[in-house]
Amino acid sequence: MTATALRHDWTLQEARDLFNLPFNDLLFRAQTVHREHFDPNEVQVSTLLSIKTGACPEDCKYCPQSGHYNTGLEKEKLLEIEKVVAEARAAKQKGASRFCMGAAWRSPSKKDMPYVLDMVKQVKSLGMETCMTLGMLKEEEAQELAEAGLDYYNHNLDTSEKYYNHIITTRTYQDRLDTLDNVRKAGMKVCCGGIMGMGEDEDDRVGLLVQLANLPQHPESVPVNMLVKVKGTPLENVEDLEPFDFIRMIAVARIMMPASHVRLSAGREQMNEQMQSLCFMAGANSIFYGEKLLTTSNPEADADMQLFRKLGIRPEQREQCATEEQETEALAEAVEYEATRHMFYDATRESA
């Protein structure tokens, strides 16, 4: 099977045409592309920890951490490094291969950078991939993070450039693109996506995906968030997103960025198992795992693993030097998988 070629010249009309395909045709095409680049029954698992919460100077209308809105969220100081490492160790034991750390900053300050760099080094030493979201980055800040060993930097575009000013006014769309460019130049991988359900129309969703897919290099990770409405924010009463529109977004993202991990991110708690399963069918192959997603709740880890078992999905494993205990555990998991694989039908195989 020849893999679908990566493209960086998508037009708005091409993306619209994908969105408007009959639902079954769209999912079939997305799943076909997905299988060309990934194991369809593996999902990358990440855990996200807020290392500094609240009092952010930005005015993002969806965010409970913004200092512009009264959401009842208490301001917290930067977490101690030991606490962060302990959380990372616990996340790894629960099956996470990547640990993401987020701080409610416009950009990191000089006084906080040494602590942040040490967090990266210590989490990395656990054998986990590392990711951070700290706001805007200058070239030298991106370089420092890269030298500390940071694997991924998350900086979402949120929505289309056309709709952007309806959501945020304290930083520009170009500011975000400049940060992504600084991250790339430093040699780190990019985690960049957006949020659905903020009152945007289909053309805004199309515009976001075209912007992402036409970057010089596709983001390695594309988080697709469904708005979590938080009391006290300007978007608390926005109309609910149609679930099928969200699944279409996942599918079109998969088709336009075939080799990227497409992540089910915020909003999963509002999705039932059937909706999440359709998202996996549409090409989602990454989730945040655990009880909290920054300051909004996320489905409990046990529920995630129960769903994985129902679907025959297993967590994607990061390639690394394993300890003897890890190898033993992995072997036990492999034996269990082999013992139960007959329960799942491989739709790619032709019938005899």
| Domain annotation for the chain: domains and CATH numbers | 10-335 (3.20.20.70)
Q: What Å distances lie between residue 305 and 236, 267, 325, CA to CA?
A: 30, 18, 21
- Tell me if 294 sits within 8 A of 65, measured CB to CB: yes
Annotated binding site for [2Fe-2S] cluster: 100, 131, 191, 263
Long-range own/partner contacts, residues 31-36 (CB < 8 A, 24 or more apart): 31/281, 31/282, 31/283, 33/4, 33/254, 33/255, 33/258, 33/283, 34/254, 34/258, 34/283, 34/285, 35/1, 35/348, 36/1, 36/2, 36/3, 36/4, 36/258
Whole-number pLDDT of residue 63? 60
Q: Residues forming the annotated binding site? A: 56, 60, 63, 100, 131, 191, 263
Q: Could you read off the pLDDT of 151-201 as tens digits, one per residue?
A: 999 999 989 999 988 888 788 899 889 999 999 999 999 999 998 988 899
Catalytic annotation, residues: 56, 60, 63, 100, 131, 191, 263
Q: Which amino acid is at 15?
A: A
Query: Over the stretch 222-262, which tens digit does the pLDDT of each residue have?
Result: 999 988 877 777 777 788 889 999 999 999 999 999 999 99
Binned at pLDDT 50, 70 and 90, residue 64 comes out as low
State how far the Cα of 257 lies from the Cα of 5, in Å rounded to an integer.
9
Tokens standing for residue 310: 């129902």
pLDDT (mean) for 311-326: 59
- Average of per-residue pLDDT values in the chain: 80
pLDDT in tens, 320-349: 333 334 333 433 444 444 444 444 444 433
